[in-house]
Structure 1
Amino acid sequence: MLLAGLSALTAAGLIYRQARDLMLTRTEGSVVNEFRLRVATLTENMQHPPDRAALQQLANGVAPSFLQATGAAAYRDSGLITSGDLTGPITPALRRAVVARGRLYHQRVIKNGLPYLVVGTPVMLGKRTTPSGVEVYLVAPLAKEQADEDALVAAARNGVIPVVALAVLLALVAARGVLRPVRDLDRAARRLGAGELDTRLKVSGGDELARLVKTFNATAAALETNVSELRDMEVKARRFVADVSHELRTPLASILAMADMFEEEAGRLESDLAKAARLMNLEVGRLVRLVEDLMEISRFDAGAATLILDDVDVADAVRASLRTRGWTGRVGLDLPPDVRIGLDPRRFDVIMANLVGNALRHGAAPVTVRLRADGGAGGVVIEVQDAGGGVDPRVLPHLFDRFSKADAARTRSDGSGLGLAIARENAHLHGGTIRVTNPPEGGALFTLTLPRRAEPPDHPGEPGTDPPWITEPGG
């Protein structure tokens, strides 16, 4: 549109300028030639020095009616003889040029908003080749030329407007033809990014945009196939883990019972057999906990984890969790009374057991549990802090990942590597968060935030839906 408009304006401007210059040049040439001829004819037999009557006759004769002149003026020794009041259009600059150079000059002048052509020449009388001191000036109006010029401007404007309007129309049509497929591609890409993998676009034409649409459709189809295969594989893997864990529970329960019996009889066994019995009991216990944790994770992955809410005194729930595991004397408590929220007591117990157990195993005494009401959100904040060396900054971003170990060099530990992941999933199921930092005073600080009333997310257990829960020190 801009190119067409500029082209039309440029063409119209050039045509206008050329026609205007040609018209003015033709008019000026005609007036100047006629003026020179009349001056020569009227002064051919004029005596030197001419009297006033002769000069008046010269002034009257220089402005004939067919030139449509306003009038003429004759000067002699700075005296003025005119055929009308024409002193205005005759400028001092033109007079100085005529007198100083002794030749004919013409000039276009605007007087009272009207254009005039002023022509002046010195007069040679008789056979003299030097100026006689007489100057003759003609003032011719250019009103007709001004009207013609206005008509040219109007014609140029009337010619440009349709061209620009047509350019606008064609530009809009072209832009719509180009931008509409681009907008469709943008919307389709957004839908594809939002998970609508069956998004496809209609292919029309054979240009570059059509080829781009074909490429998009092929990419979307390949992505849908790959994601579908990955989802099927993930479902099968989760089902496999859940099925294996479930099938292992019964034989493990029997093995654990026999391991307990062997351990009870270890005192009557030989030294090596006693150690073996105790080790078997320990390892079977670890295996049972691993299976239980795997089953719990499977519930989260399948979206089958649910809450059984109750109105709970948080301080009492924390003490009950520690008392059940015999940790009461090993943990410092800062628990204000009468802080009640709605939560699932069993899942809250799992969260506290994993956080405090992690601090006791991997941190150093003293381990402190602090409770405070979150005035802004109306929920509670529970902090579990130890006095150890903190979490390795390299491990910190992955501490809540499944099978993550706080000490990367340790291949075996009493835990399954799922405890903190299960704690996070339970917190997320309540609509809360867990984050870990290395505070300046040392140790590791786990911060559990729970709302006053549990508001589980739309897709519990789905990775990536939890708000950021890991921060660097000072964050």
Structure 2
Amino acid sequence: MSTTPRLPPVPERASYALRRGLTFWRRSVQARVVASTVLLSAAVVGIVGWFLMQQTRDGLLDHRVDQVVAEAENETADARNRLAYAPGTEVDESEQQEDLVEPIIARGATRGFAVVLAPAVGSGRLAEGGAKFTQGLDTSSVPDNLQQHFDQPAPTAWTYTTIRTTRAVPGLPEGPGIVVGSQVTLPADDQTYTLYYLYSLDDEEETLALVERALLTAGVLLLLLVAGLTWLVARQVVTPVRMARRVAERLAAGQLQERLRVTGEDDLARLATSFNQMASNLQRQIRQLEELSRLQRRFVSDVSHELRTPLTTVRMAGDVLHDARASFDPMTARAAELLQTELDRFETLLSDLLEISRFDAGAAVLEVEDVNLVDVARRVVDMTSALAEQRDTRVIVIDPGHLCLAEADVRRVERIVRNLVTNAIDHAESHDVHVLVEGDDHAAAIAVRDHGVGLGPGESAMVFNRFWRADPARARTSGGTGLGLSIALEDTHLHGGWLQAWGRPGEGAQFRLTLPRRLSQPLRHSPLPLVPQDDREPA
């Protein structure tokens, strides 16, 4: 039975797409250049388009206003001429109004304008009735402010309006328009009447819409062209940079033979040439350093091995002298004891040098098993008990009460902890040393806390350097070689763990070893804090 795979919910897909988009935006210079160029071009095109639209609109309207005002004045002049020849007393004023307005209405029907003959000045507004006008026109199309202007005799005036109709008027659609007002005097009653001519701006509106569509289409095409050109130009610059990045990553990965391909003689070609020269110089210097390092490691290994034979001979002679020191005079007996002590230290130093050489050569391997760090801590405390008594120091293990297991090489882990405990005893200044052990499902940790001289600022990172001492004048009373913490750090790295130090002058130090619960598992946290809880100064 087949099942259809379930897609993730829409919010999760949207969130994933958003993260992908943001990642692409952060990493792609080309995309940011194209986007910024398109946005700036859009702003410029928008401003220029708005300016052109304003100029076109103003030009069309000014031309239309001049045209309709001239036509309205011609109609009014013709009406005045006709009234001048009309008898003043023998004709009724209503009939004379009809004779005045009807020819104009007829011409308006063919020329695309409407006419309103308002009542005599001072007789009321159009809304009160008594007007004669083109059939189908709503007299509210004449604005009140223009009617107020003609409440008394006044010259020709015009304004914008919105034309409204009660039914279809030939040549005069509803919408924006212009109304022109002009006055005439009727001989029949010697009263002044106002003629309103209403013209539609529908043609101009269509022209503006056409111009707007043309500008919008041209702007979109221009932005697409700008985006394409910017993409191509940015690609010519970004592609060599991306190639340089890939070559740099290969160089960082150890492929020192990688080089950039040089084409042309421009700035990018010169940059590629300089990059290749730098890579060649780095390759040569790295190979020189590798050869020097190889010779140094071999020298240390060879010297350490070659010293084994004479050291064995000197050790045998020293043992004979040390065993017979009771028969010597006090000065000779003391010299035999000092010789035995230094031979022990020298032998330990040779062992540490051989171990360091194995780390440098990459020959160190792990013998992994499940190790309980609590048992390791107790064994190390037992091993160092004699040194602790000699230094008047107690080493106390703080048992977590449960197993703290980790996959590790028990010999190397014991050596790490022994180095940490010995170092703590050497610097404890007769104070107690605490060994804390803790573990969880992810990691196990051991922290060694002393209350001695402590570490100064910056010394917590330097303390793992080979042969480094915080106080060069301080003697190694525990017989250390100066390589213990360096070897401990290498052992820790071999396990994939952490070895970290904290300290403050006069308040002691704490070293923390953290090992993953499983050898191949990456560490994310430590069960123990690096800064001890008894630290008096807040972090």
Q: Structure 1 297/159 Cα, relative in aligned 2: closer, same or farther at 3 Å? A: closer
Q: State the percentage of identical aligned residues.
A: 30
Give the Å deviation of 1:259: 2.0
Q: Higher mean Cα deviation, 137-146 or 6-15?
A: 6-15
Q: Does 1:108 align with 2:160?
A: yes
Q: State the alpha-carbon separation in 2 of the partners of residues 72 and 338 from structure 1.
A: 105
Structure 1 gap ranges (5+): 458-466
Aligned to 1:39: 79
8 Å contact from structure 1 (residues 398, 404) kept in 2: yes
Give the Å deviation of 1:19: 4.7
Aligned to 1:405: 469
Q: What does 1:113-262 align with in structure 2 at a 5 Å threshold? A: 113-124=174-185, 132-204=191-263, 206-262=265-321
Q: Structure 1 276/190 Cα, relative in aligned 2: closer, same or farther at 3 Å? A: same
Letter in 1 for 2:178: L
Q: Does 1:55 align with 2:100?
A: no
Q: Structure 1 209/60 Cα, relative in aligned 2: closer, same or farther at 3 Å? A: farther
Q: What does 1:312-331 align with in structure 2 at a 5 Å threshold? A: 317-318=376-377, 320-321=379-380, 327=386, 330=389, 331=394
Match of 2:513 among 439, 444, 448: 448
**Cα distance per residue 1:178-235 (max 9 Å; x no partner):** 4444444444445555555444333445554444444433333333333332222222
Q: What does 1:359-370 align with in structure 2 at a 5 Å threshold? A: 359-365=424-430, 367-368=432-433, 370=435
Q: Structure 1 470/426 Cα, relative in aligned 2: closer, same or farther at 3 Å? A: farther
Letter in 1 for 2:284: T
Letter in 1 for 2:481: S
Q: State the alpha-carbon separation in 2 of the partners of residues 20 and 183 from structure 1.
A: 54
Match of 1:70 among 101, 106, 114: 114
Letter in 1 for 2:308: R
Give the Å deviation of 1:359: 2.7
Q: State the alpha-carbon separation in 2 of the partners of residues 214 and 3 from structure 1.
A: 35
Q: Structure 1 83/201 Cα, relative in aligned 2: closer, same or farther at 3 Å? A: same
Q: What does 1:73-92 align with in structure 2 at a 5 Å threshold? A: 73-77=117-121, 78=123, 80-85=130-135, 86=137, 87-92=139-144
Letter in 1 for 2:461: P
Q: Structure 1 116/44 Cα, relative in aligned 2: closer, same or farther at 3 Å? A: farther
Q: State the alpha-carbon separation in 2 of the partners of residues 212 and 101 from structure 1.
A: 84
Matched position secondary structure for 1:88: helix
Aligned to 2:460: 396
Letter in 1 for 2:183: P
Matched position secondary structure for 1:135: strand
Structure 2 gap ranges (5+): 1-37, 125-129, 165-173
Letter in 1 for 2:512: T
Matched position secondary structure for 1:327: helix
Aligned to 1:460: none
Aligned to 1:94: 146
Give the Å deviation of 1:418: 0.5
Q: Structure 1 293/101 Cα, relative in aligned 2: closer, same or farther at 3 Å? A: farther
Q: Higher mean Cα deviation, 78-87 or 246-255?
A: 78-87
Q: State the alpha-carbon separation in 1 of the partners of residues 332 and 116 from structure 2.
A: 143
Give the Å deviation of 1:23: 4.0
Give the Å deviation of 1:441: 11
Give the Å deviation of 1:299: 0.8
Q: State the alpha-carbon separation in 2 of the partners of residues 262 and 146 from structure 1.
A: 120
Give the Å deviation of 1:44: 2.8
Give the Å deviation of 1:161: 4.1
Letter in 2 for 1:102: A
**Cα distance per residue 1:108-160 (max 9 Å; x no partner):** 3212442333221222578xxxx942222222334444444444334444444
Give the Å deviation of 1:304: 0.8
Matched position secondary structure for 1:102: coil
8 Å contact from structure 1 (residues 35, 138) kept in 2: no
Q: Structure 1 400/94 Cα, relative in aligned 2: closer, same or farther at 3 Å? A: same
| Count of aligned residue pairs for this structure pair | 461
Q: State the alpha-carbon separation in 2 of the partners of residues 164 and 198 from structure 1.
A: 44
**Cα distance per residue 1:55-84 (max 9 Å; x no partner):** 221112334255332234243242744242
**Cα distance per residue 1:268-324 (max 9 Å; x no partner):** 334443333333333333222222211111111111112234555655555555556
Give the Å deviation of 1:417: 0.6
Aligned to 1:357: 422
8 Å contact from structure 2 (residues 114, 199) kept in 1: yes
TM-score (norm 1): 0.81
Q: Higher mean Cα deviation, 331-340 or 221-230?
A: 331-340
Q: Structure 1 96/429 Cα, relative in aligned 2: closer, same or farther at 3 Å? A: same
Q: State the alpha-carbon separation in 1 of the partners of residues 467 and 340 from structure 2.
A: 23
What root-mean-square deviation, in Å, do the aligned CA atoms of Structure 1 and Structure 2 show? Answer: 3.9
8 Å contact from structure 1 (residues 188, 201) kept in 2: yes
Matched position secondary structure for 1:123: strand
Q: State the alpha-carbon separation in 1 of the partners of residues 529 and 256 from structure 2.
A: 31
Aligned to 2:346: 287
Give the Å deviation of 1:361: 2.5
Match of 1:27 among 67, 74, 77: 67
Q: State the alpha-carbon separation in 2 of the partners of residues 107 and 394 from structure 1.
A: 84
Aligned to 1:436: 501
Q: State the alpha-carbon separation in 1 of the partners of residues 113 and 402 from structure 2.
A: 113
8 Å contact from structure 1 (residues 437, 470) kept in 2: no
Q: State the alpha-carbon separation in 2 of the partners of residues 425 and 456 from structure 1.
A: 18
8 Å contact from structure 2 (residues 457, 504) kept in 1: no
**Cα distance per residue 1:374-428 (max 9 Å; x no partner):** 123264x334444534444553332222112243333666321111211222233
Aligned to 2:409: 344
TM-score (norm 2): 0.72
Q: Structure 1 286/177 Cα, relative in aligned 2: closer, same or farther at 3 Å? A: same
Give the Å deviation of 1:105: 0.8
Q: Structure 1 324/160 Cα, relative in aligned 2: closer, same or farther at 3 Å? A: closer
Q: Structure 1 119/19 Cα, relative in aligned 2: closer, same or farther at 3 Å? A: closer
